[in-house]
Structure formats: C-alpha cells, structure tokens
C-alpha cells in the first residue's frame, strides 16, 4: 500500500506538470498553424496582384470586406478642403459606400475576382492632372479575409453565420508603391511636373552645369532609371491576425515582392475628383506584367 501511494503521488506531480504546459503547447501549435496558413495565403494573393490576375472568382467566398482610406492633396502637398476628404471607401459582397456619406455605387459588390484583385492592386500614390491643378491621392487599402486554407467546415458553401464568424480570419493591408512616374523638374520657387515619387537627386536627374562631361556617362543611367520607374512597383502585404469581434490579434507578418509592368486603371471619371460626389465610379487597377512602357 505504501508503494502504491508513493506511485500515485509521483504520477500526481507529473500530471500537474503536464497539465501546466499543455495550454502552452496548444498555443504554440495554434500559432504555427496560423503562420502556415498565412504563408500559403500570401503566395496566392501576391501572385494575383503581381500578375494582374482577373479570374480568381473563388476569392468572393473569403473576402468579407475591402476598405480604402483615401486622402486627397493639392499640388503643394496641402490637404484639400473639399467634401468627404479624407474618407473611407468600403466594399463588401453585398454593397459599397463611403463611410458617413451613403452609398458609393449601388450594385458595386465584390462579386468576382476581377474587382477584388483590382481593389487590392490600388497604388498607394496616384497622380491626377486637371486643367487647374495637379492632385495627389494617397490610398490605404485594408481587406478582411477568411482563410482559404484550413478546416473544410469553414469553407464555402458554408452559410452558417456562427461558423463563419468562428473561422480563422486575418486583416491584409496592401501597398502597391510605384518607384516613380515621369520626370521632376525643379525651378526656383516652383515645382513643375511634380509626379515623381523618388527624390530627383537620388537618381541624378539634376543638371551638372559645373561639369558638362558628366552628362554623357550619366545620361544612359537616367534613361535606364526612368524606364525602371515606369514599370516597377514594390508590393508589400502586411498581415495581422486573428480578427475577432472584439479585437485584432498579435499575429503580424510582412511579405514583399516586385511587380514588373505598369499598373493601369480600368475606370476613371473625367474631372475626378474636383467635388468628390458620393456617386463616384469605382476604380480597378491591374498590373500588366507582359507590357512595358518606354519612358520619354
């Protein structure tokens, strides 16, 4: 009996230790599973954006919303005092709108992969020229996505709202940053053609009047750099997870890639955005990886 009691005591101490580390082990397993899912999802989404894919309609089963936090600036970098600036444009599978300003475009739902990839590919900086001035738009695109990989019970055609809410979700911030567009000319007290997002001195665009011999060796580099700026985009994805009804989790991962090719908008409104009406048409952007522009 004494030996049995001692054995039970030893087993009890061991069970206490095992039970103590069990939650930690389960937490590590959950974190590894979530990181594996994010790695798989990042590959799919990076390929979609960098290659300008338009037929990934299966994304409609997993993208719950896309929001573009947009700010519009004038030629001098000043925030324009116009209605709904800054503003948040939101898109969901069942509608779209401007936060606090009603519907954006009734009927523009996330119903196909072309719209989803087109919104995720929105450049972080967009330059628009009008007869009176040049406008600069800053876009901050954030999407809430339910995992495409993982438990089969969470996937389409699962329609139970409780199950969908409990599925693993993450928040994706997409930044498609152009290396530059066009040329920048600096004159005393005036900036003309100010649509280059690289500081000109970094790419040796300034005139070397004191040493004319610099023009010949540097001119080839100018042309090469301008072509790169026309056809090269830095694609950065920031993943944050998990997304819960109360808060955003501590998971964080950044992935980067290059988009080789110009980015074109498929819908542009004439005179946009002088008054920024609430009924603006949507704009979708897609990378054209097989098309390269020659800079002037």
Got the DSSP string for 258-273? Answer: EEES-EEES---TTTT
Residue 140 or 95, more confident: 140
152 near 211, Cβ under 8 Å? Answer: no
Rounded mean pLDDT of 19-31? 73
User: In this predicted structure, what is the pLDDT of residue 134?
Assistant: 64
Domain ranges of the chain: 27-183+227-287
Please give the average per-residue pLDDT across 202-226, as a whole number: 62
- Structure confidence at residue 275 (pLDDT): 41
For residue 238, the model assigns a pLDDT of 97
Residue 90 pLDDT exceeds 80: yes
Q: Render pLDDT for 175-196 as a digit per residue (tens, 0 to 9).
A: 998 775 433 333 333 333 444 4
Identify the band that residue 282 occupies on the pLDDT scale cut at 50, 70 and 90. Answer: low
Could you read off the pLDDT of 258-267 as tens digits, one per residue? 898 888 887 5
Distance of alpha carbon 274 from alpha carbon 272, whole angstroms: 6
pLDDT per residue as tens digits for the range 231-253: 888 899 999 999 987 888 889 99
Q: Which of 128-137, 250-259, 276-285 has the highest mean pLDDT?
A: 250-259
pTM above 0.75, yes or no: yes
Q: Which residues pair with 129 in a beta bridge?
A: 134
Q: What angle do CA 140, 145, 148 make, to 5 degrees?
A: 140
For the chain, give the percent of residues with pLDDT over 70. 70
At residue 22 the predicted structure's pLDDT band, cuts being 50, 70 and 90, is low
Task: Collapse the DSSP code of 125 into the 3-class scheme (helix H, G, I; strand E, B; otherwise coil) and give the result.
Answer: strand
pLDDT of residue 129: 58
- Residue 135 pLDDT exceeds 90: no
Q: Helix 113-120 to helix 2-50 angle, to the nearest 10 degrees?
A: 90
User: Mean pLDDT over residues 264-290, rounded?
Assistant: 60
pLDDT score at 209: 56
Find the range with the poorest average confidence among 83-97, 118-132, 267-281: 267-281
pLDDT at 38 over 80: yes
Query: d(Cα 226, Cα 157) in Å, to the nearest integer?
Result: 48
């Amino acid at each position: 009996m004494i030996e049995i009691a001692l054995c039970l005591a030893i087993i009890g101490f061991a069970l206490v230790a095992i039970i103590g580390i069990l939650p930690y082990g389960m937490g590590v397993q959950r974190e590894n599973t979530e990181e594996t899912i994010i790695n798989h999802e990042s590959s799919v989404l990076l390929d979609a954006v960098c290659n300008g894919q338009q037929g990934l309609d299966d994304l409609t089963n997993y993208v719950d919303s896309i929001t573009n936090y947009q700010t519009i600036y004038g030629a001098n970098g000043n925030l324009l005092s116009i209605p709904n600036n800054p503003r948040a444009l939101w898109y969901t599978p069942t509608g779209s709108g401007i936060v606090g300003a009603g519907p954006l475009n009734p009927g523009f739902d996330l119903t196909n992969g072309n719209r989803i990839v087109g919104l995720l590919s929105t450049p972080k900086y967009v330059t628009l020229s009008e007869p009176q001035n040049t406008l600069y738009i800053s876009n901050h695109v954030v999407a809430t996505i339910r995992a495409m990989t993982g438990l089969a019970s969470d996937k389409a055609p699962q329609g139970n709202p409780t199950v969908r809410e409990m599925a693993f979700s993450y928040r994706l911030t997409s930044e498609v940053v152009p290396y530059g567009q066009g040329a920048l000319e600096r004159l005393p007290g005036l900036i003309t053609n100010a649509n280059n997002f690289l500081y000109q001195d970094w790419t040796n665009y300034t005139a070397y009047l004191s040493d004319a011999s610099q023009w010949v060796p540097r001119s080839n580099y100018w042309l090469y750099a301008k072509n790169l700026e026309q056809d090269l985009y830095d694609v950065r994805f920031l993943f944050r997870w998990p997304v819960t009804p109360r808060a955003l989790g501590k998971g964080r991962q950044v992935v980067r890639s290059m988009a080789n090719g110009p980015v074109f908008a498929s819908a542009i409104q004439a005179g946009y955005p002088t008054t920024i009406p609430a009924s603006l048409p949507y704009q979708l952007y897609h990378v054209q990886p097989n098309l390269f522009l020659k800079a002037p």
